[in-house]
Amino acid sequence: MKIMEIGLNSLYNIGTNYSIRLNEKEVLVVEDDPLRKTETSDEKKSAKEEEKKKNQEKSKSANELSIDERRLVQDLQSRDTEVRAHEAAHQGAGGGMTGGASYTYQQGPDGRMYAIGGEVSISIASGSTPQEAIRNAQQAIAAAMAPSDPSGQDFAVASSAMVMLMKAQQQLTKEMQQEMLGKEVYKNAAVGT
């Protein structure tokens, strides 16, 4: 039969943060294990360092990228610049008619996100008078066609605004004709008496 000797300061791990030892009276004592807590915080540091390494690997520096990856990053950077300029042109020309820009992103091999598509909403108010409707339609057309390279969607918005513009111009012409006819009728009635 083997007998195990336990010294007074011997520690035995019985859990994550506890240890058991014999005190001076040779009574077992369960207490917090300061060594184990240190290991736990060290483990946390270690886990954080691992995560940091993974993120660094994910976001490689330009020197660590292959030639194809560098070319792709350059293409994505160029596209990002184009997309942001395109949407900014809509917003600049649209004034209060445009909403905020929203973007579609793609992650590059360097771990960064690049805008590869975008959209700005343009709200065209009909206006309470034909003149107001004409101004709104003209501003909507300007906002839709503001970028140097309008998209198909931009042309569609401009086309809708153009239809609104023509209807407003027809309404204005009709009102002007009615006004002229009313004056003419009044003039003829005044001359006839």
181 and 146, same domain (yes or no): yes
The pLDDT tens digits for 152-191 are 999 999 999 999 999 999 999 999 998 888 776 666 666 6
| pLDDT higher at 11 or 60 | 60
Angle, in degrees to the nearest 10, between helices 67-94 and 130-144: 170
Q: 109 with 69: CB under 8 angstroms?
A: yes
The angle formed by the CA atoms of residues 6, 9 and 15, to the nearest 5 degrees, is 85
Q: What is the pLDDT of residue 124?
A: 85
DSSP state of 119: E
113 and 133, same domain (yes or no): no
The pLDDT tens digits for 48-84 are 777 766 666 555 565 688 999 999 999 999 999 999 9
Q: What is the pLDDT of residue 125?
A: 83
* 105 within domain boundaries: yes
* 20 within domain boundaries: yes
What predicted TM-score, i.e. pTM, was given to this entire model?
0.59
118 and 128, same domain (yes or no): no
Positive or negative: CA dihedral 171, 172, 175, 180? negative
* 77 within domain boundaries: yes
CA-closest candidate to residue 87, choices 4, 151, 37 = 151
Q: What is the pLDDT of residue 137?
A: 92
34 and 50, same domain (yes or no): yes
* 7 within domain boundaries: no
Q: What is the span of the domain harbouring residue 35?
A: 12-58
Q: How many folded domains does the chain comprise?
A: 3
* 1 within domain boundaries: no
